[in-house]
Amino acid sequence: MRRLTLGSLALLLLLVPLIRGQEVNGDDGRPTCRRCDLHHCCNCSHSGFTRVPMVTDQALRLDLSFNNITNMTKDDLMGHSRLRALDLHANGLAEIHPSAFDSLWSLEELDLSDNQLTVLNPKWLKNLAILENLNLLNNPYSRLGSPSMFFGLVRLRRLMFGGPALKELRRTDVFGVTELEDLTVHANNLASYDSGTLGDIWPLGRVTLRLHGPFLTNVALAAAVLTDVSYPETPIVLEDLHLIGNHSVLPFRESAKKRIRSLSFRNFSVSDATLVDFLMALNGDPLSYLHVEDVTLTGEGRWEKANKTDYKSIDEFFLRNAVVVDIYKFVSFLQLGFLLYYPRKVSVINCGVFVMPCETSKLLVNLQYLDLSDNLLTDLTTAESLCHGAPTLKELRVLNISGNPLKSLSMISHLVTNLLKLTHLDISRTLYSSMPSSCSWPSTLKYLNISRAKLTATTSCLPRSLEVLDLSYNNLKGFSLDLPLLRELYLSGNKFLGLPAGQPFPNLQTLTMQFNTLNMFGLSDLQSFRRLENLQAGYNKFICTCDFVNFLQSQLKQNGNVKLTDRKDGYVCDSPLHLQGELVSQARLSVEVCHRVLFVSVSCGAALLVGLLLCVLLWRLHVFWYLKMTWAWLKAKRSSQKQRRATADSEALLSFDAFVSYSERDAGWVESFLIPELEEPSEDGSSSTSSSRPLSLCLHKRDFLPGHTIMDNIMSAIERSRRTVFVLSENFVQSDWCRYELDFSHFWLFEAGGDTAILILLEPLSKDDVPKRFCKLRKLMSSTTYLEWPQEEERRPEFWRSLRNALRGDND
């Protein structure tokens, strides 16, 4: 029992790596990862590896993130000279051999973030001369180290370093970094900084800084860092800031001297008083882009001092996810309206805005882009914000009020009618449930988005000037409006059963129909669109008929003029049942299903051919004759049984000694020889003895009953006679009626036995002259003695004597 348990445990331990996408290599115990695509990109993340797995030496990208690799040896990556990107994010990596990356001289991207590296070794990067992106974020090192980690990385363009443990930055720490497109420094707990450390990096692109601690406790340090990266061409992003009091905005005074133009805040906490101080600190600075996201605002909304500031240079103002801590004491943002007077692009998203006063709107003379999405605007407050349709916002080109509780489409169309330069309107994620029969729109409107509403039908309310229309995720079942300029139409997430007709959209190039109830579509549907190039129709309930499967498989191979630009795995069969859940691209239907008419035709033709061959075979084997004779015999048998029931003694039916079957051409011999000899008394008049008494013969000329069919007469004559005499000759074989008599007698032979037939050969005749189907008679001719008519007269008495004895039988 213990052995079984240990064996099972060993098997389980062996299977665990396999279950998690690993294979164990028996040579050195290293796991193997085989999850590489055709582009030699290997995704080995989330696989539970504790060592660097073996992968193909052709790999160009290797993702080992979210594993448990704590140690890297010098041989782990040996032979991967072609590798361009290596991701070791979130492994708990604590130790890396100094030569671990020496063979990676083609490496361009290296991610070592979120590990346990307490010391950074410059030798790791000594051979990575073409490295462009390096991520060292969130490791527990307190300093970058000396000599510089980055010496010799002349092509480095994206650098990220720092974390909660970073305490100091020295002038020599970033020696060798000459220019960057993106610099990210996480230094929330930075305590020591050499002025000019980051100032030597030039040109410098986007900079992202986390300086939460310095802004609170060491503003001089924060100012030094911020000043080193402040350039007019460098966008600055500040994360995790908490500005409290006038002293916390002092670093911005130094930055203002550098005339920064782009400033962004993320995860930003500020009071109204500090915000006023900030605006005053940057007063007159040529700031053109101000981006604030995830901001928490405290205070009562007192902005009087800020009204004296000058921000005419602001071109774009972006505010998203603003939260006011004590909303009931907060006055308003109206006194900050001056920040919106000059920008051409304003976005206030998810900030609880329920109205923008018309007086404020009138002052937005330069505004070209306005985004008020995800707020609390209603139809009435939107009317106030847009001045009830008055010709304000004359320069506005893009308006986004999506995600607001709007209900009247006719009202919004009226409000934007006089926005004579409006080209883009987004009113998606609203409460529109119906569409008026007619609407007024600006003639310049080209892009309209009414997706994720509750529309059930469309009308001519939609402007004919549209080039892009998005009606996705409504409750539409049809769409047939004439939109001659429309180039893109988005109808996903509705209830369409088929593609819309293409005639109303002569210029349509892109159509999306995903997540509807489409059953199928075909070439004729696509040909109705004159210029359609791209179609997305996956994730529907497709009925996989033969025509649809063949057509779609051809389209998925990009064989047609229209390209299916969505994923192949979105096209799945919903029916028939045996194909449910199978990809259309892999569906296979049988010939019986796909070519039913041809299959039926071929099957019927084959069955007919087989039937004909069978009939020929049965005819050759005389089966039809046997069936016909069997039927006739059964009828005659039934008739005979009725006669026997009517007569007590069955012997009474035997009326003749013999039935004579002969050909009409042999009638002369029968009448001249056979009848006189057998039926007439002998010349000596002695008829008392059995050997000389006359016999009773049945002849068809005189004994067949009138009113009965010939077949019935033949069968009756054979049955009522003790013997059947066949007068065989060439004439007999050629006679049709003689053949019938042979047929019936053939069956009678099976019933009465072989001694009922007597064969007389008028002329020499072999058994081969008898038809093969008369197998019993042919057998009799070969096994039974028959009588031959002698041509010599002296032998004829003996012939008659033998014939009489045969007719009378042993009993007589």
Contacts of 688 (CB under 8 A, 6+ apart): none
Q: Say yes or no: 70 and 154 in one domain.
A: yes
CA distances to 190, 550, 555 from 165, in Å: 8, 62, 56
- 718 domain residue, yes or no: yes
> What is the structure's pLDDT at 21?
46
Band of pLDDT at residue 803, cut at 50, 70 and 90: confident
Q: Return the structure tokens found at 659.
A: 């039935």
Q: How many residues does the chain have?
A: 812
Say yes or no: 454 and 541 in one domain.
no
Torsion of CA 42, 43, 49, 51, to 10 degrees: 30
**One domain for residues 789 and 671:** yes
Instruction: Report strand pairing: 23-24 vs 31-32.
Output: antiparallel
- Alpha-helical regions (H) of 37-182: none
Q: Could you tell me if residue 53 is inside a domain?
A: no
User: Residue 716 sits in a domain of what CATH number?
Assistant: 3.40.50.10140
Query: Are 439 and 541 part of one and the same domain?
Result: no
Do 674 and 790 fall within a single domain? yes
pTM of the model: 0.74
Q: Residue 648 falls within a domain, yes or no? A: no
**Do residue 701 and residue 775 come from a single domain?**
yes
Over residues 431-437, mean pLDDT: 95
**Structure tokens belonging to residue 276:** 């006023």
**Res 14: pLDDT:** 40
Could you give the CA distance from residue 523 to residue 375 in angstroms, rounded to a whole number?
45
Residue 551 lies inside a defined structural domain of this protein:
yes
Domain boundary among 111, 138, 164: 164
How is 338-374 classified by DSSP, letter by letter?
A: GGGSS-SEEEEESS------HHHHHT-TT--EEE--S
pLDDT at 549: 92
- The label of the residue with tokens 């729109």 reads 441
746 pLDDT above the threshold of 90: no
| 241 domain-assigned | no
Contact status, residue 496 vs residue 521, Cβ threshold 8 Å? no
* Cα distances (Å, whole numbers) of residue 692 to 3, 658, 677: 110, 16, 10
One domain, residues 470 and 501: no
One domain for residues 453 and 521: no
Q: Which domain-ending residue is among 589, 621, 637?
A: 589
Query: What is the rounded distance in angstroms from the CA atom of residue 620 to the CA atom of residue 233?
Result: 103
| pLDDT at residue number 28 | 62
Lowest-confidence range among 91-95, 120-124, 166-170, 706-710? 706-710
Which CATH number do you get for residue 142? 3.80.10.10
Name the one residue in this structure whose structure tokens are 């005419």: 312
**3-class SS at 737?**
helix
Q: What's the rounded Cα separation, in Å, for the pair 567 and 213?
A: 48
In DSSP notation, 163-198 reads -TT--EE-TTTTTT---EEEEEEE-TT--EE-TTTT
Q: Which domain holds residue 766?
A: 658-679+693-808
The verdict on 463 and 360 lying in the same domain is yes
Instruction: Please report whether residue 674 resides in a domain.
Output: yes
The 10 Å Cβ neighbour count of residue 11 is 10
Answer positive or negative: Cα dihedral of 113, 117, 122, 128: negative
Distance of CA 632 to the CA centre of its chain: 66
Which of the four pLDDT bands, split at 50, 70 and 90, describes residue 19?
very low
Shared-domain flag, residues 673 and 714: yes
- Is residue 580 domain-shared with residue 667, that is, in the same domain? no
pLDDT in tens, 499-550: 999 999 999 999 999 999 999 999 999 999 999 999 999 999 999 998 899 9
* Residue 632: inside a domain: no
Query: Last residue of some domain: 574, 589, 604?
Result: 589
Instruction: Give the containing element (helix H, strand E) for 808.
Output: helix 796-808
Question: Quick one: 665 and 570 in the same domain?
Answer: no
Please check whether residue 33 lies inside any domain of the structure. Answer: no
Range with the poorest average pLDDT among 93-97, 136-140, 610-614: 610-614
pLDDT (tens digit per residue) in 328-357:
888 777 778 888 889 999 999 999 999 999
Structure-derived torsion over alpha carbons of residues 75, 81, 84, 87, reported in degrees to the nearest 10: -10
pLDDT tens-digit series, residues 184-195: 999 999 999 999
CB 789 within 8 A of CB 762: yes
Place of tokens 């998690």: 20
The CA-atom distances, in angstroms, between 742 and each of 281, 430, 628, 718, 771 are: 132, 99, 13, 10, 10
Arithmetic mean of pLDDT, 159-174: 95
Predicted confidence (pLDDT) at residue 628 exceeds the cutoff of 80: no
Residue 95, H or E segment = strand 95-96
Structural domains counted in the chain: 4
The answer to whether 562 and 555 are in contact (CB under 8 A) is: yes
**CB-CB contact of 457 with 436 (8 Å):** no
